[in-house]
Amino acid sequence: MLHRYETDGAEIYRQSFATIRREAALARFNPAEERVVVRMIHAAGMVELAPHVAFSPGMAEAAEAALRGGAPVLCDVRMVSEGITRHRLPAHNRVLCTLQDERVAALAHEMGTTRSAAAVEMWRPDLAGAVVAIGNAPTALFHLLNLLRQPDCPRPAAIIGCPVGFVGAMESKEALMQDLPVPAMVVRGRLGGSAMTVAAINALASHAE
């Protein structure tokens, strides 16, 4: 017997988001934040993600305004940059990932750090007013925080800090929320990853579900 299943893509989305809103603990989020969290839960398949998501006041609104104003999106890895749905971006925003730049390996060796951290060093010309999306590398987030302690470093509009893993991920996100150089959001603890980060950007870029 053939399997029967829902074949209407729009209906699949409708049912999915309805299930998330019915089952997830979303009451503490404002409408802009809720849209982000719902999409992140959808990407992860985890309604239990909601308690781990933290926003600084006004972060979602600041990131939305920056994207509407044409801000670039700076990504730590191509899994993030390639996952962003371009037609959702409100101002044909540039999406940049410098990790594959041919200069990064030598710069990482010179700096005595990871390629992910060295790639962040190359964001300086585009950092002012940008939306930063870090979904993989704790070293990228730590290096960004160190850069932003420099008085002459340009300031992004907002930071999505969702590196994932067991070494430095939790610590880098806690450091972001403690330093709070600009409005920020994180998934606390070891959870995170590129799919959640992409979902957050896509939600901030467009209200359409």
Q: For 21-152, where are the E strands, in sequence order?
A: 53-55, 73-75, 95-96, 131-134
In a domain, 158, yes or no: yes
Q: Is residue 160 part of a domain?
A: yes
Is residue 209 very low, low, confident or very high in pLDDT (cuts 50, 70, 90)?
A: confident
- The verdict on residue 76 lying in a domain is yes
Residue-wise pLDDT for 146-159, tens only, equals 999 999 999 999 99
Q: What is the CATH number of the domain that holds 130?
A: 3.40.50.10230
The residues pairing with 159 across neighbouring beta strands, listed in sequence order, are 132, 184
- Per-residue model confidence (pLDDT) at position 104: 94
User: Using CA atoms, how far apart are residues 50 and 35, in angstroms rounded to an integer?
Assistant: 12
The model's pLDDT over 160-182, given as tens digits with 9 standing for 90+, comes to 999 999 999 999 999 999 999 99
Closest to 203 in 3D by CA, of 160, 171, 166, 148: 160
The answer to the question of residue 30 being in a domain is no
pLDDT digits 0-9 by tens, 26-74: 999 999 999 999 999 999 999 999 999 999 999 999 999 999 999 999 9
What's the mean pLDDT in 1-10?
Answer: 91
For residue 35, tell me if it sits in a domain.
Answer: no
Is residue 208 very low, low, confident or very high in pLDDT (cuts 50, 70, 90)? confident
**Domain residues for 107?**
52-205
20 vs 64: CA distance, rounded Å? 22
With pLDDT > 70 as the criterion, what percentage of the chain qualifies? 100
Residue 126 lies in a domain: yes
Is the pLDDT confidence value at 203 over 90? yes
Which tokens go with 147? Answer: 């850069």
Please write the tens of the pLDDT for every residue from 120-131.
999 999 999 999
Please give the Cα distance from 202 to 100 (Å, whole number): 23
Please count the other Cβ atoms lying within 10 Å of the Cβ belonging to residue 184: 23
Indicate the length of the chain as a whole number: 209
Cα distances from 103 to residues 48, 78, 121, 144, in angstroms, run 41, 16, 11, 18
Residue where the block lists tokens 């990504």: 75
- Asked, for residue 14, whether it belongs to a domain, the answer is no
Q: For residue 109, how many other CB atoms are within 10 A of its CB?
A: 11
The total of structural domains in the chain comes to: 1
* Of 12-16, 142-146, 172-176, the least confident: 12-16
Taking all residues of the chain, what is their mean pLDDT, rounded to a whole number? 96
Tell me whether residue 91 is in a domain.
yes
**CA angle, 160 then 163 then 167, to 5°:** 150
The catalytic residues are 42
